[in-house]
């Protein structure tokens, strides 16, 4: 009976060792899986952090563009499609940063949960390794072993003992908990990668839309600038012609005044003819008609001269308005081209980005001409 009991317990020990070893191998695999998942989630978290960090540059560029465009003046300081797209871009970037920050926070919390699950698995595995060593040592004992001896009350039930079902449930719970956390981590990784891709796509689409609107605005401003330059040239020509007309009118008026002086002098001198010679002859009538005719002509010339001067004043005001508006357009072009150059940082690496020294002249290939002081003086 003693031999059979010893044989049965040897068998039980062997089976127990095999059972514990199976669980140890299961825990080993689960630990390897959870380590791989922790590493994968950490990399995804790092990628999300990099994507979050990368949003700072587009946000700075958008805010810089909005700030630059606030330097537009007068009528050009308008809420145009470029401004709307820039405001949309800021909102898209802010939304992307919030979503990425949320994913980073979730990844951090999930890493903590994975580490907690790994700690439970690792502790369970260490206990099983220790139990295996003890049971294998027990299996190796025999009557010839040197370290056998009588013990005090060896059949007592130690404190903290567990039933086999409870022991297995503990390992099963640790395994299931780890698997559940790994599943949640996998889903979070996929969601985070999707968020990174979506935010990048949304930001790229918004960047393209903003730059399309900006380039269109620059083309419109360029056309408006050309139109204003053409109007300025025409107005200058009209002013030159009007000034020439005024000079001709003034010269005609001067000559008519001289003629009138002659006629007045003739009439006044003939007033001193003596006696019967003071005759109202044809000369008298002719000189009188000449004076009336000259006076009418002088009145007409003065009226024409006043109208011409008013027209010249209107042309000078128009020229001032055109040149002022042209200055606004030139300033707006300068600001928008600076925005365009600033946005090159979004597609060109920062270390390779060299801003243009003269953005406006590079784009329009022309030199702005300032109005002459005399052209702006109103009579």
Contact in structure between 196 and 48 (CB atoms under 8 Å): yes
pLDDT in tens, 136-187: 888 787 778 888 777 788 777 778 777 888 888 988 998 999 999 999 999 9
Q: What is the pLDDT of residue 350?
A: 43
- Most distant CA pair in the chain, distance: 190
Least confident stretch, 130-139, 191-200, 369-378: 369-378
Distance CA(32)–CA(36), nearest Å, equals: 6
Residue 319's pLDDT is 86
Q: Give me the domains of the chain, ranges plus CATH numbers.
A: 1-141+171-342 (1.20.250)
pLDDT at 346: 78
* Alpha carbons 243 and 249: distance in angstroms, whole number: 10
pLDDT in tens, 217-265: 888 888 888 888 898 888 889 889 989 999 999 999 999 999 889 988 9
Is residue 34 a contact partner of residue 178, using CB atoms and an 8 Å limit?
yes
Task: Tell me what pLDDT residue 348 has.
Answer: 55
pLDDT of residue 25: 92
- Residue 368, pLDDT score: 38
Q: What is the mean pLDDT of residues 329-354?
A: 71
Mean pLDDT, residues 325-349 taken together: 78
Q: Are 88 and 212 in contact (CB under 8 A)?
A: no
pLDDT tens-place string over residues 113-144: 999 999 999 998 999 899 889 888 887 877 78
Q: Cα torsion for 239, 240, 241, 243, to the nearest 10°?
A: 80
């Amino acid at each position: 009976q003693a031999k059979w009991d010893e044989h049965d317990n040897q068998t039980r020990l062997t089976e127990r060792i095999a059972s514990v070893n199976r669980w140890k191998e299961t825990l080993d695999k689960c630990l390897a899986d959870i380590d791989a998942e922790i590493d994968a989630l950490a990399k995804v978290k790092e990628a999300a952090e990099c994507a979050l960090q990368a949003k700072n540059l587009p946000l700075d560029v958008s805010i810089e563009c909005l700030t630059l465009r606030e330097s537009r003046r007068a009528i050009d300081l308008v809420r145009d499609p470029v401004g709307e797209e820039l405001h949309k871009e800021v909102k898209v970037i802010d939304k992307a940063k919030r979503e990425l920050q949320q994913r980073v926070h979730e990844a951090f919390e999930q890493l903590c949960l994975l580490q907690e699950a790994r700690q439970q698995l690792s502790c369970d595995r260490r206990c099983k390794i220790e139990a295996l060593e003890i049971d294998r040592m027990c299996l190796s004992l025999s009557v010839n072993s040197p370290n056998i001896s009588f013990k005090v009350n060896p059949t007592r039930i130690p404190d903290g003992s567990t039933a086999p079902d409870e022991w297995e449930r503990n390992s099963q719970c640790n395994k299931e908990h780890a698997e559940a956390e790994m599943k949640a981590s996998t889903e979070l990784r996929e969601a985070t990668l999707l968020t990174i891709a979506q935010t990048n796509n949304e930001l790229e689409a918004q960047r393209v839309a903003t730059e399309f609107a900006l380039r269109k605005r620059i083309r419109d401003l360029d056309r408006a600038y050309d139109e204003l330059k053409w109007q300025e040239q025409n107005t200058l020509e009209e002013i030159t012609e009007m000034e020439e007309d005024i000079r001709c009118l003034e010269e005609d008026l001067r000559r008519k005044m001289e003629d009138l002086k002659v006629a007045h002098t003739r009439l006044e001198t003939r007033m001193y003819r003596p006696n019967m010679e003071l005759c109202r002859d044809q000369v008298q009538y002719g000189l009188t008609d000449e004076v009336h005719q000259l006076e009418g002509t002088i009145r007409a010339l003065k009226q024409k001269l006043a109208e011409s001067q008013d027209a010249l004043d209107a042309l000078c005001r128009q020229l001032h308005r055109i040149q002022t508006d042209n200055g606004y357009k030139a300033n707006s072009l300068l600001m928008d081209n600076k925005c365009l150059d600033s946005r090159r940082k979004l597609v060109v690496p920062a270390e390779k980005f060299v801003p243009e020294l003269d953005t406006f002249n590079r784009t329009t290939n022309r030199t702005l001409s300032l109005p002459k002081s005399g052209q702006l003086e109103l009579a």
